[in-house]
Amino acid sequence: MAELDRLGSGHAEALLRFELENRAYFARSVPDRGDDYFTPAGFAARHAELLAEQEAGLHHFHVLVDDEGAVLGRFNLIDVADGGAELGFRVAERVAGRGVATDGVRRVCELARHGYGLRRLEASATLDNAGSLAVLRRTGFTPVGEVLLAGHPGMRHVRELT
């Protein structure tokens, strides 16, 4: 069974492989991270930044890993403040449509409430990202309004955790 782990330094190699293998797939629905992100030095620097921000309590980053340690997905709580955070998630193309994203979002919502004491999560997805929109609705998020995401129309959602 896949494990939801708090992001750590030991995940760097598997996480970079996940991002590289799925770069084109992710770019279909979210802005690409740029070439520098995918270089070993660029990725290592960004990974270290994320871990420092997590240590400071600004964010909570998670990876869903399989029995062999391969990353199946990322589930992040960013901009933690005032009992709330922004949820972001992405799963590998090879497991898309198999309930992995739904399971991961459910797990991180429970962790947000019981592990981090959060009371409210917000999340957005572009209107052409039917999979992510469906995951948000299946996991108790309610649409609250339209937004622009990197110039693309999207829908903002909220989930109360109390």
- pLDDT of the residue at 28: 81
List of E strands, the chain: 3-6, 60-65, 71-81, 84-91, 120-126, 142-149, 152-160
Name the pairing type of β-strands 120-126 and 84-91.
parallel
CATH level 3 topology of 3-160: Aminopeptidase (3.40.630)
CA nearest 62: which of 41, 88, 97, 44? 88
- Closest by CA to 73, choosing from 33, 40, 41, 25, is 25
So what's the pLDDT on residue 75? 98
Residue 151 and residue 48: Cα distance in Å, rounded? Answer: 29
Pairing of strands 120-126, 152-160: antiparallel
Specify the pLDDT at position 35. Answer: 76
Listed residue (75, 137, 65) closest to 101, CA to CA: 75
Cα–Cα distance for residue pair 115/134, rounded to 1 Å: 25
Per-residue pLDDT of the chain (162 residues; tens, 9 = 90+): 799 999 999 999 999 999 999 999 988 877 778 778 888 889 999 999 999 999 999 999 999 999 999 999 999 999 999 999 999 999 999 999 999 999 999 999 999 999 999 999 999 999 999 999 999 999 999 999 999 988 889 999 999 998
Domain ranges of the chain: 3-160
Which residues in 60-78 are b (16+ Cβ under 10 Å) and which e? bbbbbbeeeebbbbbbbbe
Distances (CA, A) of 14 to 20, 90, 115: 10, 15, 25
